[in-house]
Chains A and B, each alone.
Chain A
Amino acid sequence: MTTLEVRHLTKDYRSHRGHGAALRAVDDFSVRVTAGETVALVGESGSGKSTVAKMAVRLVTPTAGEVLLDGVAPARGGRADKRYRSRVQMVFQDPFSSLNPSLPIAYQLARPLRIHGVVRSAAEEERELLRLMEAVNLSPAKEVLRKYPHELSGGQRQRVAIARALAPRPEVLIADEPVSMLDVSIRLEILQLLDDLKRENDLAVLYITHDLATARHFSSRIVVMRRGRVVERGRSDDVILTPVHPYTQLLVRAAPDPASGPFAVDLQRYERHPEVTLGALDPDLDTWPEDAHWARDWRDDDADRSLVEELTGLAAASR
């Protein structure tokens, strides 16, 4: 039972060896994911969602803010990072490039088992490899373990990548666009697998995606990001069915949804939904009820002006 807490994370990227202007990729981002729960982080490319993922697994050092496990900030540095990563693992977007093409699957799964000290003998390793293959439904296990990545389909490769992430027996899983490179018809299969694994292992899952539909169906809460900042957050159904922030509305309108009628853009929706809190500052994780629906106040924000103008045009057109 581990809770992942990301508090006030900020990341500035500096170009020209630190002399250029800083680009704030992530700006005061906070989220809490409890064990057995999936929280989705959605936004377009460049919104900062992958930077959040990389900071959560310590591939990128935050400019400010911290990542806590069960309320404690784990130590940093070589060995501590290794211990941290045995608790927090990541599944990458592209199963075609995240596996080493020159090594058999068995080797790629055995490495994390050895490195993180999960197994001590060859017999244990064998047993654990078979267990991992079974966990991700890859069979016949022994045969697949002998294969090289190019002999597997995209879906099978992503299963291997998931098995690799599970190898150190993590408590937190960061899944960064885990299905966006896969065919539509096998995406659900992989997401269903992640969902089952989450339940069986009581994992806290941060699901990063630009696909609102799977975000809604596989997570209890959704956090919408734009330009490094959270613009809306709440229970999945609330965010998708009554989106308040103009950007969330733009996303909902853009997503293909042939089974429903056209989505009506409505900038005044918040007036009919007093339960939605509008605020200029991100809610404080300690006092904020997790399920409450929050949106960033865009009405006086210059940064959102062009977005609001675009939305006003769309609202007029859909009337």
Chain B
Amino acid sequence: MSAPLLSIDDLTVEYRTARPVRAVDHVSIEIAPGEIFGLAGESGCGKSTLAYAVTRLLQPPAEIVGGAIRWTPDGADPLDVLGLDGRELRAFRWSEISMVFQGAMNALNPVHTVRSQIEDVFVDHRSGLSRTERRARAEELLATVGIDPRHLTSYPHELSGGMRQRVMIAIALALRPRLIVMDEPTTALDVVVQRTILDEIDRLRSELGFAVLFITHDLGLLLEISDRVGIMLSGRLVEQGSSRQIQDAPRHDYTQHLLRSFPSLRGDMPATGTRYVDREPERRPS
């Protein structure tokens, strides 16, 4: 693997509620340029919290209590992501790392046109572009994600779920980031639409060369599209490896359990309908 673009090192995030919850527990992940890293786990395992930590979007009561996140583009000096403040953070976010949110179908503003929502990114993050340049770039972006630029004047409700998702991806691509965090980007979509979006992400990745941190509870899907996969359970990263290795030789019980919990469509993989009990916290002194 080439030098990592993003290194998450021993990251720990807690929610400082009445009973503090450790949502991310000493997690270390490295993502190389142009790589798709898939993060799998069930609801509540901390995968979205991790994504929000990377993009510095965590709000109280969530607090990063330990670890570091480093950003190293093209052999430049590593940037301490957790140390960024105000203007630095604004410059970093979206132009270096952007995000496609969970339920992105509803993340678009219903009272603004597609054009104004795409152009907003340029107005907000890079005041250099003129009005005509912004228009041209918005058109180009829509075309990039396979939508006819005449939809620039459309409102979100005039578009199908799949098209809205493409618009969200166009917005994430706007400043040509090196990494896009995608949190359950296809969960609300039909299988057929999901497949076209996944094909699209793969195509754009090979054309534009960005890396992806892809988060979903659907391990089957993740194994197909990711180069490497990490499995999270109760805040801990219990296993990581290449998709092939996770598929063929999973080491952790929980990974094996997850693999058994979705039947193969065309194969004869036996599936189980049992529940996995996480025994780790009982064994460990806290």
Do the beta carbons of A183 and B43 come within 8 Å of each other?
A: yes
- Of A184, A189, A217, A259, which one neighbours B247 at CB under 8 angstroms? A259
Distance, CA A54 to CA B101, complexed state (A): 33
Interface flags, A239-267, vs B, CB<8A=1, else 0: 01100000000111111111110010000
Whole-angstrom distance between the alpha carbons of A69 and B20 in the complex?
55
**Alpha-carbon distance A50/B195, docked complex (angstroms):** 22
With contacts A45-B190, A258-B247 known, what are 6 further pairs, Cβ within 8 A?
A189-B273, A211-B191, A217-B263, A256-B223, A257-B266, A258-B220
* A293 CB within 8 Å of chain B: no
Interface residues in B, total, Cβ within 8 A? 33
The answer, yes or no, to whether B269 is at the interface (CB within 8 Å) is yes
Q: Contacts of A251 on B, CB cut-off 8 Å?
A: 191-192
Q: Does A63 contact B (CB under 8 A)?
A: no
In the complex, whether B228 has a CB less than 8 A from a CB of chain A is: no
Q: Is the CB of B266 within 8 A of A240?
A: yes
The listed residue (A44, A191, A210, A255) touching B265 by CB distance below 8 A is: A255
Are A184 and B261 in contact (CB-based, < 8 A)?
yes
Beta-carbon contact of A210 and B190 below 8 Å: yes
Asked if residues A259 and B264 are in contact (CB atoms below 8 Å), the reply is yes
List 25 contacting pairs A-B, 8 Å CB cutoff, sorted by A: A44-B190, A44-B193, A45-B190, A183-B217, A184-B261, A185-B257, A185-B275, A185-B276, A186-B275, A188-B262, A188-B271, A189-B273, A189-B275, A190-B273, A192-B273, A210-B190, A213-B262, A252-B266, A256-B218, A256-B220, A256-B223, A257-B220, A260-B265, A260-B266, A260-B267
Q: Would A259 and B224 count as touching, CB distance under 8 A? A: no
Q: Is A212 an interface residue (CB 8 A)?
A: yes
Contact A183 B223 (CB under 8 A): no
Query: What are the residues of chain A within 8 A of B224 when measuring CB–CB?
Result: 256-258
Contact A188:B261 (CB < 8 A) given known A183-B217, A258-B223, A258-B224: yes
A257 to chain B: which residues have CB within 8 Å?
A: 220, 224, 264-267
Q: Which residues of A have CB within 8 Å of B107?
A: none
* Given contacts A183-B43, A210-B190, A258-B220, A252 and B265 within 8 Å (CB-CB): yes
The answer to whether the Cβ of B194 comes within 8 Å of any Cβ in the partner chain is: yes
Of all A-B residue pairs in the complex, the 8 with the closest CB atoms, nearest first, are: A192-B273, A254-B195, A258-B223, A188-B273, A259-B264, A256-B220, A256-B221, A257-B265
Q: Mark B225-258, 1 if CB is under 8 A from A, else 0.
A: 0000000000000000001000100000000011
CB distance from A259 to the nearest CB of B (A): 4
Within 8 Å CB of A255, what residues of B?
Answer: 191, 265
A contact residues around B243 at 8 Å (CB): 258
- List A230-245 residues whose CB lies under 8 Å from chain B: 240-241
Q: How many residues of A contact B (CB 8 A)?
A: 35
In the bound complex, CA of A252 to CA of B264 (Å): 11
- The smallest beta-carbon distance between A243 and chain B, in angstroms, is 10
A188 and B272 contact, CB distance less than 8 A: yes
Flag if B261 contacts A187 (CB, 8 Å): yes
How far does the Cβ of B28 sit from chain A's closest Cβ, in whole Å? 24
* Interface mask (A177-201 → B, CB under 8 Å = 1, otherwise 0): 0000001111111111100000000
**How far is the CB of B221 from the nearest CB of chain A, in Å?**
4
Within 8 A of A (CB), among B144-177: none
**Chain A contacts for B2, CB-based, 8 A:** none
Among B192, B258, B263, point to the contact of A250 (Cβ < 8 A). Answer: B192
Chain B residue contacts of A185, Cβ below 8 A = 42, 217, 257-258, 261, 275-276
Cα–Cα distance between A187 and B219 once the two chains are bound (Å): 13
Nearest Cβ on chain A to B108's Cβ, whole angstroms: 19
Q: Which residues of B contact A240 (CB under 8 A)?
A: 265-266
**Is A184 a contact partner of B219 (Cβ separation < 8 A)?**
yes
Q: Provide the residues of chain A in CB contact with B194, threshold 8 Å.
A: 254
Chain B residues with CB under 8 Å of A191's CB are: 273
Q: Complex Cα distance A299/B224, Å? A: 32
Residues of A within 8 A of B262 (CB): 184, 187-188, 213
Q: How far is the CB of A197 from chain B (nearest CB, A)?
A: 13
Contact check, A193 vs B273: say whether CB atoms are below 8 A apart. yes
Shortest Cβ distance from residue B232 to the other chain A in the assembled complex, whole angstroms = 12
Q: Specify which chain B residues have a CB less than 8 angstroms from the CB of A183 in the assembled complex.
A: 42-43, 217
Q: Is B130 an interface residue (CB 8 A)?
A: no
In the complex, A214 has a CB within 8 A of chain B: yes
A residues less than 8 Å from B17 (CB atoms): none
A217 to B195, CA, bound (A): 22
* Residue B286, interface by CB 8 Å: no
Q: Contacts A189-B273, A256-B220, A259-B247 given: A213-B263 contact, CB under 8 Å?
A: yes
Least CB distance from A130 to B in Å reads 22
Is A216 part of the binding interface, using a Cβ–Cβ cutoff of 8 Å?
A: yes
Taking a contact as CB atoms under 8 Å apart, the answer to whether B271 and A217 are in contact is yes
CA–CA, A255 to B195, complex, Å?
A: 8
